[in-house]
Structure 1
Amino acid sequence: MSSEEQRAWIYVLVCVVVPVIYLVGILSELPGADVAEIAYVRPMLTAIGVGIVANVVLTVVAAVVSPKDAGKADERDREINRRGEHVGFYVMSVCAVGPLVLAMVRADHFWIANALYVSFVLAALASTVVKLVAYRRGW
């Protein structure tokens, strides 16, 4: 497994675990509560920060465990990355319509922020899944 594929597996793991923990925590407060009163900003920023730090730390650990492959990317890796990022861009473009519509109908900031967060997560997940499929099924 190339270091780029390892990074993709790490990213998909972080991209699933961290947002699920955040959303379970926030959505558990939703029943019977006024969304304007739910403190979502700090947990969201914490989830974003934890996601970034976890991705960096796990990538470094993977590089230490397998140093001969660390940082080596060939033309295939670059093309797979390009295609995955391309798909992620389109997913984000489509998903961004939701928060935009919420802003237009003057929805509460809670819904707009969380819809945007979910949009970023879905785009990152789609991008990474495309990369993993390309690595596993062949280019």
Structure 2
Amino acid sequence: MTLTEKRVWIRLVVAVVAYGVYIGLVLRRADGRPLPDVPYAGLLLVTTGASIVASIVVEIGLAIVLPGGSRAIDVRDREITRLGEYVGQSFVVIGGVAAMLMAIADWDRFWIANVVYLCFVLSAVLGGVTKVIVYRTPFQP
């Protein structure tokens, strides 16, 4: 497994875990209240920032524990990364359009922010899964 593929796995797992933690904390804070009344902004920012920091820390830790991993990126790695990013970007567009339509329809900011966050996570997951699948199958750039 190349270092690039390990990074894909790390980012995929961290994105799912961070979003799961966010949803769990929001639901726990709701405690029977309507979701738009739950203070969510701080949680959203903290879990997003924590997922970025966690990815970096885990990648650094992996590089320390497994120092022999090749840092060379070949054409195949670049093409897999590009393909995964193209596939994942579809959810960024969907999230942007959904947020725009929700704002036009005057939905609560809670729903708009959470749809954008969900689409960012789905983008990361879809892009990551695409990369993992392509890494595990014969692929000629």
Tell me if TM exceeds 0.5. yes
- Contact conserved, 1:35 with 1:108, CA < 8 A, in 2? no
* 3-state SS of paired residue (1:73): coil
Quick check: 2:8–2:131 contact (8 Å CA) kept in 1? Answer: yes
> Residue type matched to 1:122 in 2?
L
Unaligned runs of 5+ in 2: none
Partner of 2:112: 112
> Counterpart of 1:96 in 2: which secondary structure?
helix
Which residue number corresponds to residue 97 of structure 2? 97
Root mean square deviation of aligned Cα: 1.5
Q: Which amino acid aligns with 1:113?
A: A
C-alpha distance in 1 between matches for 2:8 and 2:64: 16
Structure 1 counterpart of 2:82? 82
CA distance in 2, matches of 1:48, 1:91: 17
Return the offset for 1:98: 2.0
Q: Distance in 1 between matches of 2:61 and 2:29?
A: 35
Equivalent residue, structure 1, for 2:133: 133
Q: Which moved more, 1:85-94 or 1:115-124?
A: 85-94
Name the structure 2 match of 1:49: 49
Q: Equivalent residue of 1:39, what SS?
A: coil
Aligned length: 139
Q: Equivalent residue for 1:65?
A: 65
Relative to 1, partners in 2 of residues 1:100 and 1:31: Cα closer, same or farther, differing over 3 Å? farther
**TM-score (norm: length of structure 1):** 0.92
Give CA-to-partner distance per residue, 1:43-97, whole Å, 9 cap, x none.
0010011100000000111111222225321111111000000111122212332
Instruction: Report how far residue 36 of structure 1 moved.
Output: 4.4
Residue aligned with 2:33, SS = coil
CA-to-partner distance for each residue in 1:1-34, whole Å, 9 max, x for gaps?
1000100110111011010110121133446424
**Contact map agreement 1:63 1:70 (CA 8 A) in 2:** no
Report if aligned partners of 1:19, 1:47 keep a CA contact under 8 Å in 2: yes
What is the alpha-carbon distance in structure 2 between the residues aligned to residue 132 and residue 72 of structure 1? 18
Instruction: Note closer, same or farther for the CA distance 1:5–1:26 as it changes in structure 2 (3 Å cut).
Output: same
- CA distance in 1: counterparts of 2:43 and 2:91, whole angstroms: 25
Give me the identity figure in percent. Answer: 35
In structure 2, relative to structure 1, the CA distance for the partners of 1:25 and 1:7 (3 Å cut) is same
